[in-house]
Amino acid sequence: MAQIVLSKRHVAMIAALTTSVAITASYAASVHARTSTHLQEIADNAALAGVNALAASTGQPAEARSAAAVAAAQTAAAGQSGTIRTLQPSVDGLTMSVVVEDADKGTQVSATARYIPAKDSRPARQAVNMPGSVATTL
């Protein structure tokens, strides 16, 4: 087998290149994380507004409840950066799912809020959040 002998100069060049790649990757990851966090906040707020509208419109026809949830979610996200891609209320399940994307940066996030009625006998602070969702009670 042939041995590879690296001079101090080669080692220094490899270390410099490795360091610059690591710094660039770290910067890109931090910018991506900030964008995703902001988009996630928009999605979370829209999902919560939608599920609260579903809960507040109990007793109305399903179509009216669904329309109220969509309108509330759109209002919560209005004026924010990012585009709402999907709004999916579930009248029967008392959930609201929202997908928000930033097409310029190629980032997409989602949130699902579920209303937990008080008759569950579980206080809001004990409601368990599932990964990727937000639970709330009124």
- 132 pLDDT more than 60: no
CB 47 within 8 A of CB 111: yes
User: Which residue type is seen at 6?
Assistant: L
pLDDT above 90 coverage of the chain, percent: 41
Half-sphere CA count of 95, side-chain side, radius 13 A: 14
Domain range summary for the chain, segments of one domain joined by +: 10-136
Please compute the mean of the pLDDT values over residues 65-88 and round it to a whole number: 90
Question: Is the predicted pLDDT of residue 33 greater than 70, yes or no?
Answer: no
More confident residue, 14 or 125: 14
64 against 31, higher pLDDT: 64
Assess whether pLDDT exceeds 80 at residue 29.
no
24 three-class SS: helix
